[in-house]
Amino acid sequence: MVQLVGSLRKELADSISTCKVLVVGAGGIGCELLKNLVLTGFKNIEVIDLDTIDVSNLNRQFLFQKKHVGKSKAQVAKESALQFCPSANITAYHDSIMNPEYNVEFFRKFMLVMNALDNRAARNHVNRMCLAADIPLIESGTAGYLGQVTVIKKGMTECYECQPKPAQKTFPGCTIRNTPSEPIHCIVWAKYLFNQLFGEEDADQEVSPDTADPEAAWNPEETAARATASDKDGDIKRVSTKEWARSTGYDSVKLFNKLFKDDIMYLLTMDKLWKKRKAPTPLDWHQLENSECPKEGTPASGLKDQQVLDVWGYCQLFQHSVETLRSQLQEKGEGAELVWDKDDPPAMDFVTAAANLRMHIFSMNMKSRFDVKCKSRTKATKQSCQSFYSQISTTNLNVFVNFSSAMAGNIIPAIATTNAVIAGLIVLEGLKILSGELESCRTIFLNKCPNLRKKLLVPCVLDPPSTNCYVCASKPEVTVKLNVHKTMVLTLQDKIVKERFGMVAPDVQIEDGKGTILISSEEGETEGNNSKFLSDFGIRNGSRLQADDFLQDYTLLINVLHVEDLERDVEFEVVGEAPDKAPPPQTNQEEVNSITNGNKDSAQPSTSSKAPSEDDDIMIVDSDEEDGAASSSAAAAATGGTKRKHSDAETGETSTKRPRTDQSAGDNNDDDDIIALD
């Protein structure tokens, strides 16, 4: 007769009470997960999160209260979880999982790792650490009413990076507010600014410097002190951006100097942010007016919307648009608000001017009005929905931007109940692993609407590892197309090896028979190479580079394919992958009515793929008019890109997991944009 401890077999209950698990992330899913683990009987838990608690977290992260604002998420989550089970042994780390001390040996301490992350870099890193340590990893994520859970085990299933993923378009709030590095960051900031000044204010769309940026203060006490300096115990006492602007009469010069001078000078005081970044350069209206006015009057060539103005030109555009929008507010009366519309010229002028001024401050090339509004409009629109889940983020302020009009539209809110369902599924998959039943684990998609079989939860058999994966293959190898005469070593290090291939502290050597070290992880050892071109080291078409990351226990062979010209604004391409696209979905006309489940990155809240948050297309993900299969297809898109046929875990029938794109709906709504928070 089977002995039970509560509702669990005694053997399983004993395993639960003695095993050690790691939870990475203590936000939306992480809070629910930590609570579930202690209530299930897990006694040895370690949780890590770099973030601090923000007021906007309190509506869904129920381990936190107003008095906790500014404190470490991991530490407060631990303290709250212990109230459910005081006998549990929980260790909290207010730190980044990508720090060197969390090495392979650290991961080997655990029987199970559970991810609840909000960015692709960390997901990639944890994926590799679990592969190196040969520890099962449970990935998860949510976006609105949609969610996903999947299991990754070395040699048995696809790893997180087996499927190509489009470029990310989910960004932490501190990136938008403090350290933008791409034009899209500035465009999102400018869109938020429009709402903060003229539209409906949203606490998740703050534009002022983020004083609680965890990267600016690694000491938890220092971070908490910064947050509470303005928010005493969570009671917000500061004047809102809109109230301040109204008090100035929407004076365009005062607004300009506050946004582009005073706030930037404040950012410069957060010196830790600029140790490895180029610091921003503040702009002063009066200095620009005195120095730039004589230069105006030079006619620009080309169509008006395609012209890239100079700094003073965007200053004047900013001034004119502010005055026009102020007049519109006055016409509507006291307390009126403007609604963002990218087809409204003054609104578009404002966002174009503000975004470009911020780009200039952070040393980026400025863009035309046309680029800001319509860059990759149709293509992006479709990609965004198809990859909707691959970049789903799970906690914290993350922005999912539809590049179809480059900014803006509807918000997909974080739903607390979705996080709760997904956290429960994570524990159930964990119980299967601890029972030794890894073969029964599934990728599970949570849909908004029932599918054709009346299911909200759709389980799918796990895929085997991809033989072409550049992470989990026996001998990882890739081919990169670039111009060796124009690509600098710093670009190879930061944008290719670190950003694209996810290494943290790489060493790169040339396979030239001499073992020439091109990039060293030892600080200062090869900095002199950074400004040199690859061709300066004899790298040419057919050269091979070996990149090693000791921390990740990962080696990648990079084949160099020299090309003279790439597409505009493209510095390199990985051969076999279209830039910023996930593989096209496979379709089978006979299976159009089958259940479409979704890609692996779809619920990617915790798993992201290249297509993840970039999702740039209008795929109807949550339409109330869709039939049941639609939402599961959305989930599929979310997971990451394409999926092969999978058999339904219950019926054994095969179904094509592909994103569902409603053509007619897409045609009618290709101007809609999606911003996902969480």
Give the residue numbers of the binding site for Zn(2+). 159, 162, 469, 472
Tell me the backbone φ, ψ of residue 425, rounded to 5 degrees.
-65, -35
Find the catalytic residue in 31, 174, 374, 460: 174
Output the six-digit token pair for 87: 């006998």
Check if the beta carbon of residue 642 is closer than 8 Å to that of residue 583.
yes
Q: Write the DSSP string, 79-109.
A: HHHHTT-TT-EEEEE-S-TTSTTS-HHHHTT
Element (H, E) at 507: strand 506-510
Element (H, E) at 518: strand 516-519
Output the six-digit token pair for 121: 């870099």
Tell me the backbone φ, ψ of residue 504, rounded to 5 degrees.
-100, -50
Check if the beta carbon of residue 367 is closer than 8 Å to that of residue 183.
yes
Instruction: Name, in order, each residue with C-beta under 8 angstroms of 658's C-beta and a sequence gap of 6 or more.
Output: 585, 586, 587, 596, 633, 636, 637, 642, 643
Binding region for ATP: 25-30, 49, 57-60, 73, 96-97, 118-123
* 174 tagged catalytic: yes
Q: In this structure, what DSSP letter does residue 488 have?
A: B
Based on C-alpha coordinates, what's the Rg of the chain? 25
Output the six-digit token pair for 415: 């739903």
Check if the beta carbon of residue 422 is closer than 8 Å to that of residue 446.
yes
Output the six-digit token pair for 647: 């058999």
Q: In this structure, what DSSP letter does residue 496 have?
A: I
SS3 of 127-172: the string is HHHHHHHCCCEEEEEEECCEEEEEEECCCCCCCCCCCCCCCCCEEE
> 């599924």: which residue's tokens?
425
What SS3 class is residue 10?
helix
Best CA proximity match to 542, nearest among 572, 512, 509, 517: 512
> 């007769």: which residue's tokens?
1
> 């990882």: which residue's tokens?
476
Output the six-digit token pair for 318: 């900013």
- What is the set of active-site residues? 174
